[in-house]
Structures are given as C-alpha cells and as structure tokens.
C-alpha cells in the first residue's frame, strides 16, 4: 500500500464525527496531517475524538462542535483552527444527510431545509476557510473537496429533494473559489 506523507499539512473535515467524515479524518491522521473535525452532535463528536486520539495518540487533533449552517459557529471554528494550527491546507466539506421523500410528500419547508443544508454546508465553511486556503495555495497544497452523492447525477424518486439539491451542489463546485 502506498503511504501518503501529509506531515506539516492541516486538514479540516466538516461532519467529521461519523461516517465518511470520520473515515477521512482517520486517513489524514494516518498520513501525518494535523486534523480538525467538527459536527453538531457534541456526544458523537466526543466519541469520535476519543477513538481517533486512542488510535493516534501523538496526532495533532482538534474536535469542535460546529453547526455548519450557523455563520458564527463556522467563523469561530475557522478562528480556532487558525489559532491552533496556523493554517489550513485542505477543507473537506462533508456535512450533510439524506432526506427520504417523494415529490408528492415533500413540503415547502422540507425543500427549504434540504436546499439550505446542501448549499450552505459548502458555502459557509468555504467562505470561512478560504483566506487560509489561499495562503496555502502558494505552496501548491491547497484543496477543497466536497463530498457529494451519486444522487447528483442519478436522481432517485424517493429522495427527490436530496437528489435535486445534490445536483445543484455538483454545479456549484465547478466554480473556482
């Protein structure tokens, strides 16, 4: 197996307390990066931090509660990362979930919630971390990754709001930030 060396790099993972985000955090730690994770669920975040710290006791790890839909939370998280690590080289926009519903049973409020979650879970962290990422761009190491879903390209009728929102995010991320 090829081992990537990310020593000296800082990776930020939103939605890093479970699933794909937690797996990303672990891969970055294994590669030697400093890692900052965030999530909304304080208990799940603490469990993730404990598990990662136990597996990588010498790692530079930061875990903070942050709702990526709250501008103040995201700004505070970015400031904490700046103070703790002094930089951000990689931003993994991973926060999100899927809504099971058909067109007929998706309320206007559910549409708004889904669109808000999918778009602003990318927009707000990207805005907050962009200054640090631009600084890292001079080293050739800056990256923004947006975890999405096959639903963006292949919609499912039982996940109409999620499919539609994910397709929009797929378009959004084609722009240069």
What are the structural domains, with CATH classification, of the chain? 10-172 (3.40.50.720)
Distance of CA 105 to the CA centre of its chain: 29
Note whether 168 and 117 are within 8 A (CB): no
Residue 153 has pLDDT above 80, yes or no: no
Confidence of residue 177 (pLDDT cuts 50, 70, 90): low
Q: Does residue 101 carry a pLDDT above 70?
A: yes
Burial class, 20, CB count within 10 angstroms (exposed 0-12 / middle 13-18 / buried 19+): middle
Give the model confidence (pLDDT) of 38-79 as tens digits.
999 999 999 999 999 999 999 999 999 999 999 999 999 999
Q: Which two tokens stand for residue 116?
A: 């808000």
Closest by CA position to 83, among listed 34, 13, 145:
34
State how far the Cα of 36 lies from the Cα of 114, in Å rounded to an integer: 25
What b-and-e string marks burial along 109-128, b requiring 16 or more CB atoms within 10 Å of the CB? eebebbbebbebbbbbbbeb
Q: How confident is the model at residue 151 (pLDDT cuts 50, 70, 90)?
A: low
As to burial, measured by CB atoms within 10 angstroms (0-12 exposed, 13-18 middle, 19+ buried), residue 38 is buried
Please report how many Cα atoms fall inside a 13 Å half-sphere around the Cα of residue 73, on the Cβ side. 14
Report which of residues 104 and 148 the model is more confident about: 104
Q: Tokens for 88? A: 């951000």
């Amino acid at each position: 197996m090829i081992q990537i060396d990310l020593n000296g790099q800082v990776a930020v993972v939103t939605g890093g307390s479970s699933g794909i985000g937690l797996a990303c955090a672990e891969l970055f730690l294994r590669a030697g990066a400093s890692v900052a994770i965030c999530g909304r669920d304080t208990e799940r975040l603490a469990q993730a931090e404990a598990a990662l710290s136990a597996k990588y006791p010498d790692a530079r790890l930061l875990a903070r509660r942050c709702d990526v839909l709250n501008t103040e939370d995201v700004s505070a998280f970015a400031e904490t990362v700046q103070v703790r690590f002094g930089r951000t080289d990689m931003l993994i926009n991973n926060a999100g979930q899927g809504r099971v519903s058909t067109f007929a049973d998706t309320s206007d409020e559910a549409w708004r919630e889904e669109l808000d979650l999918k778009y602003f879970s990318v927009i707000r962290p990207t805005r907050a971390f962009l200054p640090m990422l631009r600084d890292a761009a001079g080293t050739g190491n800056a990256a923004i990754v947006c975890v999405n879903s096959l639903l963006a390209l292949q919609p499912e009728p039982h996940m109409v709001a999620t499919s539609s929102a994910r397709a929009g995010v797929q378009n959004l991320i084609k722009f240069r930030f």
